[in-house]
Amino acid sequence: MKRTKGTFLVGRLITSLGLGGALACSAAAPGTNEAPPKITIPYVATRHDTVKDLLWMAGVGTNDVVYDLGSGDGRVVIAAVRDFGARRAVGIELDAKLVQESCEHAAEAGVSDRVEFIHGDLFTNDFSAASVVVLYLGHGANLGLRAQIIRTLQPGARVVSHGFGMGEWTKDKTLDVRTPFLGMHSESFNEFRGNPDVPDFDERRDRANHDTLAAWIVPAPVAGVWRGKVRTQSGEHELKLTLHQQLSGLSGSFQLQGPTNLEGAVRADLWGSHLRCWCIPSQNWIPNQMWIDGHVNDDTLSGGLRMFQNTNAVGFEWVAHRDKADFTGTWEWPGASNAPVQFKIERRAGLLNATYADKNREKTPWRDDTRPVPVLDLYDFGGGLYFTLLLGREGNDLRGGSRRIGSQNGWIVGEAVMEDGTLRGTIAFFPYKDDPERLISQLFKQTQPPERKTAPPSGRRDWQPKRVGP
């Protein structure tokens, strides 16, 4: 049984409650928390057949630890161990009565010794031990959890969601299930609808008679510059792979230096820690193509390499190592009207933290948007980084909240690879679909909208920020 969101505010879920604790089913129920949540996710049951579909999509088996975030009456947790043989299953649920009900159901099913229920906030509890995570929360809540999922789960862990996506994180599996069940219809207005470059956060099909299920494989951090030796008929070469990572999506280039010099594009596919690369030379397209198939473990890529040499394909074992990268510091690049935009990156307790500041943004008596904004959706991909930022969202929280008016507000997406102390990649700014400031101006029949500063350039462009300070 799951919780799903019915409004765009629902993602601001109980983050300040600080309540909860683990509850084994043989123990007493947790005490009722006296401080009710300000906003809760409405309680909607998942059909039992949909529960089985979700666990089947995730490939749950005897070695898995399953976490159900927003576990309701415990049906996903119970089904994971009873019907799919999971080694262990854990539910995190805010409602103490539902936690108690879950324990009773687990006892009736005879699985109390293999399940656990945590009474608390799913955003603040640790689920890093999971090999499978099950969600039925909402687009905003999924986005709010996305960074924690990718940062803390092991590469290859599976995430399955009922009815809601993960923004621009491309699905690895989808399942459309016809059902007579009337599900949740309401959802936040999609500011990006109609923009082909921006993910559709409200991509569900007809919810009156369909369930849409999706699965993702947690990617390993593979961005960066990789170097390894390649021996060909003409001698030993140095192969350099440069991989840019956008969550599970990859792009890149290669350079082969030695007796024969080649360079070109890399088409890459990532499945957990399993990396496959097709190196396509800019010239002599068929000869000297290379295929790499291997696994990434920290800063080592090991596997096999096959290379066409004239008409023969030669294969051998290959190992590459990734260049070290230090992203910390204050990075600057031209923003709107060529005014400086700064991105300050720090490392705390081993994790990257960043703030974004644009001194050219609007400043009003009641709000100062020129102050640094925390970047909550930030990913350290080893030798490269990726981030998104929703400017103008209240609290800059991916999980929900209203957005502020103004042409400078929208979605920023950036990615870059570190090489020789320089970050190189791409950055994009996509304004929200409608500008409420202009709409209000038209409503009151003003001939001109209020004066405002120039918006950041829209669309994707090359990005090479300069480090200007610590």
Residues 6+ apart with CB under 8 A from 206: none
Instruction: Report yes or no: 378 and 352 within 8 Å, Cβ to Cβ.
Output: yes
pLDDT of residue 207: 57
56 & 196 share domain: yes
Whether 293 and 344 share a structural domain = no
**Separation between Cα atoms, residue 166 and residue 468, nearest integer Å:** 34
Residues 6+ apart with CB under 8 A from 357: 341, 342, 343, 344, 370, 371, 372, 373
| 455 and 309 assigned to the same domain | no
270 and 210 co-located in one domain: no
Are 107 and 240 part of one and the same domain? no
Same domain, 424 and 390: yes
d(CA 397, CA 211): 27
Whether residue 161 sits in one domain with residue 115: yes
Residues 149 and 97 occupy one common structural domain:
yes
Instruction: State whether 210 and 228 are in the same domain.
Output: no
Write the single-letter amino acid at 261: N
Q: Which residues are registered as beta bridge partners of 32?
A: none
Nearest alpha-carbon partner for 330 in 360, 366, 296, 355: 355
Domain of 283? 224-322
**Domain boundary, last residue among 198, 217, 236:** 217
Distances (CA, A) of 152 to 91, 232, 245, 320, 347: 17, 40, 17, 25, 16
pLDDT tens-digit profile, the chain (470 residues): 444 333 222 232 333 233 445 555 643 334 434 444 444 677 777 889 999 999 999 999 999 999 999 999 999 999 999 999 999 999 999 999 999 999 999 999 999 999 999 999 988 899 999 999 999 988 888 888 999 999 999 999 999 999 888 988 999 999 988 776 554 444 445 555 555 555 545 454 455 567 789 999 999 999 999 999 988 777 788 999 999 999 999 999 999 998 878 899 999 999 999 999 999 998 766 667 889 999 999 999 999 999 876 667 888 899 999 999 999 999 999 876 568 899 999 999 889 999 999 888 777 666 777 888 899 999 999 999 999 998 877 555 665 566 666 667 788 899 999 999 999 999 988 877 655 555 555 555 554 544 445 555 567 889 999 999 99
> What residue spans of 242-351 are helical by DSSP H?
none
Query: Is the CB of residue 138 less than 8 Å from the CB of residue 166?
Result: no
- Domain boundary pick from 157, 182, 217: 217
User: Distance between CA atoms of 465 and 468, rounded to whole angstroms?
Assistant: 9
Question: Strand, coil or helix: what is 398?
Answer: coil
pLDDT at 291: 93
Q: Judge if 131 and 208 occupy the same domain.
A: yes
26 and 173 fall within a common domain = yes
Query: What secondary structure does DSSP assign to 19-74, as a single string?
Result: -EEEEETTSPPPPPPSS--SS-PPEEPPPHHHHHHHHHHTT--TT-EEEEES-TTS
Backbone φ, ψ for residue 142 (5° rounding): -60, -45
pTM: predicted TM-score of the whole model, two decimal places = 0.85
Among 116, 85, 90, which residue's Cα sits nearest to residue 103? 116
> What is residue 186's predicted lDDT score, i.e. its pLDDT?
43
Which residues does residue 177 pair with via DSSP β-bridges, in sequence order?
A: 211
In the prediction, which pLDDT does 442 show?
54
In a shared domain, residues 125 and 265:
no
DSSP H or E stretch at residue 108: helix 96-109
Residue 205: the pLDDT is: 47
Distance of CA 258 to the CA centre of its chain: 39
pLDDT of residue 38: 40
Of the three residues 307, 322, 337, the one that is the final residue of a domain is 322
Q: What are phi and psi of 45, to 5 degrees?
A: -75, 145
430 and 444 Cβ atoms separated by less than 8 Å:
no
Domains of the chain: total: 3
